[in-house]
Structure 1
Amino acid sequence: MNIFILTGAGVSAESGLGVFRGEGAALWKRYDPMQLATPEAFARDPALVHDFYNARRNNLIAASPNAAHFALARLDAGLAQRGGALTLVTQNIDDLHERAGSTNVIHMHGELLKARCASCGAVCDCREDLSTGARCDCGGALRPHVVWFGETPLFMEDIFAALDAADLFVAIGTSGAVYPAAGFVREARARGLRCSELNLEPSENAAEFDDRRYGPASEIVPSWVEEMLGS
């Protein structure tokens, strides 16, 4: 069996990483994304943008994978042993899936622990704070390697190829509000795939799913994975 899983901020929330949307302390309720997460914002005030992402980078470095991340890594290994595959497409810019042991992770919104040159596009590892003086070898300014509002998500051809090869589509910890990721369930249904949602609460597109389970990711994801590996 080939499984396509889409993850969002809800899978990392219990590791202490903030979600962008929803109730409580969602990041875009506390901060204006137009001042922090657009190319125009970076051009206007790069120091402010760097401060925001430096804080998030430090938070990520101090965080650890939770039970949901480890469960998905077990699923990855279990499917491989049976001749199947897991493609894990994440909207998250953290590396917690990889730290837990998942091997085929597609970061459609970029990666916080990388930086990208605003001039030549070169990408490099980055675990330190960035400043307005950070420069690429070509002399261009370095920016966080994340997809901002108004920019095209990464690896879209790979994502649709994985959907074409999948037998099951699962969304975990997603709001169902951010496109194009929110449209993947419809693409999956058009391909005849069964679709499941694992979430803290119903997403905005919950009606698109055949199966739905709700609760903390650290509880419902391991339980679902054990069922999948036992079937």
Structure 2
Amino acid sequence: MRHERPDLAPLIDHALLDPHHGIEAVHRCCDEARHFGFAGVCLASRWLACGRERLGNASRVRLIGVVAFPFGAVPAAIKRAEAEAAAAAGADELDIVPDFGALADGNGSAVYEEIGAIVELGLPVKVILEAGRLSDPALALLVEASIDAGAAFLKSGSGFGPPVSVAQVQHLRELARGRVAVKASGGITGLEQAFELVEAGASRLGTSRGVALMQALRSPATPPAS
């Protein structure tokens, strides 16, 4: 049976996280997100105020700030301060990197407390799991700590680890058991890959290649799904 492919735009968090970009790239990223109707723009905290100004307060595109990106290896108080600064700059959502060192020591309480202190700010929080690098027990512990602390999403990775896979998304969906959503992120470069991740259960796609995906999707040469 043939059917029209859905528009991916409302699922894409358009990311600009390469630190070697300036204000022109930030403006372009925001303009692209508005043009295509992306779910959000994901920026380093350094650029959130600029992004808020460019998008405007009435924009449907959500402004997403990353916290302790990409490694999470900073004290919890500094993460909380960065999250507070992101909220003050106008962020609508936060994608945070947890304390993987505490996780490696089996200290789920520290991970829970750190995430919970940021959730308290009142913005939807996505926890970046680096699912491709964690053992099954460590991943399960991080998922439970994230959900218990009030996270809204489990995010597969930062993009600094292995590319996200369909198996990872399926596994995160199983661990989540419907309690939170899943964001696939890291190495999403192709249209077929994007659709496979959505079919596997991802409700957001984090990628710096959103424009290329939309151009491929809307190309007359792109065949419908079967």
- Compute the TM-score of the two structures, normalised by the length of structure 1: 0.29
Bigger radius of gyration among the two? 1
Higher relative contact order (CA 8 A, sep 6+): 1
- Going by fraction, where is helix more abundant, 1 or 2? 2
- Compute the TM-score of the two structures, normalised by the length of structure 2: 0.29
